Amino acid sequence: MAYTVKQLADLAGVSVRTLHYYDEIGLLMPDAYGENGYRYYDEDALLRLQQILFFRELDFRLDEIKAIIDRPDFDVLRALQTHRVTLEEKAARLTGLMQTVDKTILRLKGELGMSDKELFEGFDEEKQKQYAEEARRRYGSAEVDDSMKRWGNYSSAQKQQIVAEGEQIRRDLAASMGKGYDNPAVQQIVARWHQHLRYFYEPSVERLRGLGQLYVDDPDFRANYAKLDPKLPEFFRDAITFYCTDKT
């Protein structure tokens, strides 16, 4: 199914002018030009445009984006995973700014001694750029970044967010408990759960085809994850019950 410029523009929430420009600089070329000169985009363009938007969101310049996603070894899946971490970095930065807001409010009320320097805490994008620098090297390359996936490597803000995500998934699953394990909505949640687990436990996530299996099999995992989220045992108990009663 081919999209015209406006169709794609509306779908992706960008302007027609932007698509023209991306074509002009060779960043996103249409699948084909009609004999009238019209641009027609195919499915591949969707994913490519999505990548472009993600990178743009993370403050990459368009020529950088082009260089990255044109590399023959560019790996979309890996890129997406890196996007996620980088988005979390960005969110954590915003959290830092919120704290600066709070502290400034208290300073203005005279309730808090606050150094001049602290007034500007969180604005700096140094870490951000540092990360991007790494990312520029890493995107697309087959180089593995397992080190980032160890719990100890996350910042506390990231940890909070990750735990919150876990809780959300748990709530969602709880809300879908009645629907039966083979219900597509439930399957989606389970998939999100598998995805989520990658934060903690990479190597044998593939073993997680059966929900909770790892929790049952691996006392080490059980202990570690339970430390992060005290309600997790409950969750697993429920989930396993859920899984078993439905499967048998």
Please report, as ranges, the residues that interact with DNA according to CB under 7 A. Answer: 4-7, 15-18, 20-21, 34, 36-39, 56, 61-63
Q: Is 33 in the site for a copy of itself (CB under 8 A)?
A: no
Q: Out of 167, 218, 238, 246, name the contact with a copy of itself by CB under 8 A.
A: 167
With CB under 5 to 8 Å by kind, the binding choice for 241 among DNA, a copy of itself, none is none
Q: Is 142 in the site for a copy of itself (CB under 8 A)?
A: no
Is residue 34 within 8 Å of residue 49, measured between CB atoms? Answer: no
Q: Out of 164, 175, 216, 244, name the contact with a copy of itself by CB under 8 A.
A: 164
Residue 41 has phi, psi (to 5 degrees) of -105, 145
With CB under 5 to 8 Å by kind, the binding choice for 6 among a copy of itself, DNA, none is DNA
Nearest to 86 by CA among 115, 113, 56, 108: 56
Minimum gap (Å) between residue 35 Cβ and a copy of itself: 26
Q: Out of 23, 29, 62, 104, name the contact with a copy of itself by CB under 8 A.
A: 104
SS3 109: coil
Identity of the amino acid at 134 = E
Q: Is 32 in the site for a copy of itself (CB under 8 A)?
A: no
Distance of CA 179 to the CA centre of its chain: 27
- DSSP element (H, E) containing 39: strand 39-40
Is residue 140 within 8 Å of residue 73, measured between CB atoms? Answer: yes
